[in-house]
Amino acid sequence: MYKILIVLLILFQINIIAEGKDSTLYAAFYNLENLFDTEDDPSTDDSEFQIDSPKEWNQERLDRKMYNLARVIRSMNNYLGPDILGVCELEHEFLLDSMNNQFLKDKNYKSVSPNSPDGRGIQTGIMFKSNLFNLLEVFTDTVKLSGRSRTRLILGTTLIYNKKDTIYIFINHWPSRRGGQEQSEANRIAAAKTLRARVESILYKNPLAKIIIMGDFNDEPNNISILEHLKAKPLLCEVEEDIKLTSVDDETDLFNLSYQKFIDGFGSYKFQDKWNMLDQIIVSRNLIIGEKITYICGSFEVYKPEFIVTKSGKYKGAPFPTYSGKRYLGGYSDHFPVVAKFKINKR
């Protein structure tokens, strides 16, 4: 009898959680750090992740990698998993499907990850709960760099939430800082201009469009690519009442949810003992002061549960990665995920 009551109580609590979940929308972004399969793709330079490479990449390590990443994803949102998850640094869509089928099947995720022109073959992707969203459209934008350089596509999707609200999601992995921040800055400005043009084409047709932009931008919130070219303004707030945007001139403005954490000294990636807020979430004006879906002020955070943090040594406190150079560690990623919550207003 007691066992039956306990089971009923657990089911009742689960039902309460499930019902309560509809009052918020949980979005996240995660750089997966080189999620490659073990097969050689002759069209890309994936030699670093082959069985006979110095890293000795193999199926066992790939399975461990997918299990670890799924563990992080599953733990988000009070173990409900994110409703929307943007990702980067994966080789192809099949890897997301494999991870979902093996380790996240109960979460009802659907994956989208178009092939990339990147020389290493890494690309962006999105996972979303198919019981909450319908996929209306997938589109991509090519970032044109000087010379013959190729970089990742900007992935765009149009999702319908709960069969009512249209939300545009953009997933980014902007060109790296290889060669130095200043020397490579023009490449990220090119990415910012490309994304800004797409955003403006949406907002000029519908100033009330709901847009969520997320990614590894390889720049920080105060760099000119973000501030001046993408035109993502800082969003600073202590309490929800502090968000007051009324000017009609702000209809095409974007707002950077990560700015407060950035100025507070937080970061998603650690390089040479310095934290960098490379991973960010940016939204359109309607998701700040709109009537239907609104950002929960202060909910943006760098997500770092204890089990993905390096515990000791030179890199104590940094993300626990899969490799340190060529040495296999069996960790998760060299980036922490970032997350944000949105309130679904009753109507």
Average pLDDT in the chain: 90
Would the pLDDT of 19 be above 80?
no
Partnered with residue 281 across adjacent β-strands are 214
Does any domain span residue 17? no
Q: What percent of the chain has pLDDT over 70?
A: 89
Q: Which domain holds residue 127?
A: 27-344
10 located within any domain = no
Distance CA 282, CA 285 (A): 10
Weakest mean pLDDT among 18-32, 39-53, 179-193? 18-32
Q: Would the pLDDT of 43 be above 50? A: yes
Question: Tell me, what's the pLDDT at 317?
Answer: 95
Is residue 9 one of the residues assigned to a domain?
A: no
| Residue 101, domain member (yes or no) | yes
> Has residue 120 got a pLDDT over 50?
yes
What pLDDT is stored for residue 177 in this prediction?
83
Q: Which pLDDT value is given to residue 5?
A: 35
Q: What's the CA gap between 93 and 75, in Å, rounded?
A: 22
Could you tell me which residues come within 8 angstroms of residue 11 by beta carbon, excluding any fewer than 6 positions away? none
Tokens of 252: 């095409």
CATH code for the domain in which residue 101 is found: 3.60.10.10
What is residue 229's DSSP assignment?
A: I
Find the farthest-apart pair of alpha carbons in the chain and give their distance in angstroms, rounded.
73
Residue 294 contacts residue 302 (beta carbons within 8 Å): no
Q: What share of the chain is helix, strand, coil (3-state, %, to 5)?
A: 30, 30, 40
Helix, strand or coil, per DSSP, at residue 271: strand
Residue 21 above 50 pLDDT? no
pLDDT of residue 146: 85
Q: Is residue 64 part of a domain?
A: yes
Q: Is 162 contained in some domain? A: yes
- Quick check: is 338 in a domain? yes
Instruction: List the single range of 43-47, 228-232, 286-290 with lowest mean pLDDT.
Output: 43-47
Other C-beta atoms closer than 10 Å to the C-beta of 28 total 25
CA 311/CA 331 separation, integer angstroms: 12
pLDDT at 250 over 80: no
CA angle 253, 254, 255 (to 5 degrees): 125
Q: How confident is the model at residue 147 (pLDDT cuts 50, 70, 90)?
A: confident
The type of residue at 149 is: S
Relative to beta strand 327-328, strand 323-324 is: antiparallel
Long-range Cβ contact pairs of 91-96 (< 8 A, separation 24 or more): 91/35, 91/36, 91/37, 91/41, 91/44, 91/46, 91/49, 91/121, 91/122, 91/123, 92/37, 92/121, 92/123, 93/125, 94/37, 95/35, 95/36, 95/37, 95/66, 96/125, 96/127
Most confident of 9-23, 122-136, 139-153: 122-136
Q: Phi-psi region for residue 43, left (φ > 0), alpha (ψ -120 to 50) or beta?
A: alpha
**Reported confidence tier of residue 64, pLDDT bands at 50, 70, 90:** very high
Alpha helices in the chain (DSSP H): 2-21, 59-79, 93-103, 181-205, 224, 259-263, 286-289
Residue 286's pLDDT is: 95
User: How many domains in the chain?
Assistant: 1
